[in-house]
Amino acid sequence: MLRLLATSTYLAPRRTTSLAGRLGACATTTTTTTPCENPETVDVLYRLSVDLQKVRKLKGWVLRQKPAYAEEAARLLADLGASGPAVSRILTGHPEAVLCHPRQTLEQKTLWMSVCRHEKELVGVIERFPASFFTSCGHHDNQRENIAYFRSLNLNKRMIAKLMAGAPQNFGRPVEENREVVHGLCETFLELGGDQANAKVWLQKVLNQNPFILLKAPRVLKENVSFLRRLGFQRAELLLLLSKLKAFAAELHPEEVRRALAYSRDTLGCSEAELRGMVLLCPALLYFSRDVLTERFRGLLDAGVSARQIARTPAVLELTPPIVQYRIQCLKGRGLDLSAADLDVLSGTKKDFEANFGKLRPRGERPLFNPVAPLPDH
């Protein structure tokens, strides 16, 4: 009897039906085109309460692989402190974990513990990003070198763990490739007038926002900065814009940006210079597609907001139409005439809006300085 199956308290009880019955047609029909499932893997996953129906539907090929290490994968997770339900969820969502050799997963554990504070934190990472832990096998030297490199950039363990979880590709490739991209990012920052002392802080914010920027060729960011310069942005403005865009600066597509800006300019009836000023206030004007902008402009205009109001507070375009409609209803309920209001009260995060909304006095409220005064006639 496998040790895990004999000792784990969270394993499901043994079924009374035969293994052949559980495997269904595959247990009675074996062909060269449809290989039979690995009975040992199926048995272990069943005892772990893994949703085999879901696995068969989405990743049935995993159940047919030999060798497989379902018991060892489950034991490793249990040794880290994962609960029975957590092990079941992890192996249901990422059954490929059973194909990683135990020696490789132990190496992964060692590497990850060098950036995680404790095993409980690592279990949390694996629950959210199982593929980042179980599919990076085989690149341990690259991972180790990249961890050391990012530490040299003064990135703390928490941020490195976040990078490893969100974009494991960055750690599986040679460290020279990441070093080249980081050099390009910092070089662009300094060329635009950025301070050397702030370069690493800026870099940390960029990587925290979108670690996939490391997969972009260094020339992409430079080309996009040159494109923005041709649109009329000055060096100081480009530095401000680059700081606000962060990783989005490498995601811009010039032709799409041109179409989106042309649509915004025509809708707002503004000049090129005025539009650039709005972009500095709302960089989303650069990376929202024309279709997205059309939907958002229409939602605001249909609600009675004027183009002039949008031009004064372009950040309101960052809100989705459902959020805009909900907030407008709330403001109208307080008696606010939105057509004459400053849209700052409408824009911002949920917390910002709730704070602004709380400052508005409900319609018909008695004056605080004279509580017995009659309500004004409407």
Q: What averages of pLDDT result for each successive group of 10 residues across the chain (378 residues)?
A: 41 39 37 65 95 94 94 96 96 95 93 94 96 79 94 90 90 93 91 89 85 85 91 91 78 92 95 95 93 94 91 92 90 80 84 81 51 53
Q: Rounded distance, CA 338 to CA 341, Å?
A: 5
Concatenating the DSSP letter of every residue in 146-169 gives HHHHHHHTT--HHHHHHHHHH-TH
Neighbours of 113 (CB within 10 A): 14
pLDDT at site 333: 83
Q: Please tell me whether residue 97 adopts helix, strand or coil conformation.
A: helix
- Residue 33, C-beta contacts closer than 8 angstroms, at least 6 positions apart: none
| pLDDT computed for residue 343 by the predictor | 86
Amino acid at site 350: K
| Residue 89 CB neighbour total at 10 angstroms | 17
169 phi and psi, to 5 degrees? -60, -35
CA 139 distance to own-chain centroid: 24
What are the residues whose beta carbons fall under 8 Å from the beta carbon of 282, sequence distance 6 or more? 314, 315, 317, 318
CB count, 10 Å around CB of 244?
16
Residue 112, both tokens: 């990850």
Tokens (6 digits) for 129: 């990003």
DSSP tag of 17: S
With a CB cutoff of 8 Å and minimum separation 6, the contacts of 375 are 364, 366
* Phi, psi (degrees; rounded to nearest 5) at 376: -70, 150
Q: In this structure, what DSSP letter does residue 85 have?
A: H
The Cα–Cα gap between 246 and 38 comes to: 48
What is the rounded distance in angstroms from the CA atom of residue 270 to the CA atom of residue 299? 20
Which domains, ranges and CATH numbers included, belong to the chain?
Answer: 1-137 (no CATH), 139-252 (1.25.70.10), 254-363 (no CATH)
Predicted local confidence at residue 29, as pLDDT: 34
pLDDT score for 303: 86
Phi/psi-derived region of residue 265, left when phi > 0, alpha when psi is between -120 and 50, beta in every other case: alpha
What is the pLDDT, as a whole number, of residue 377?
55
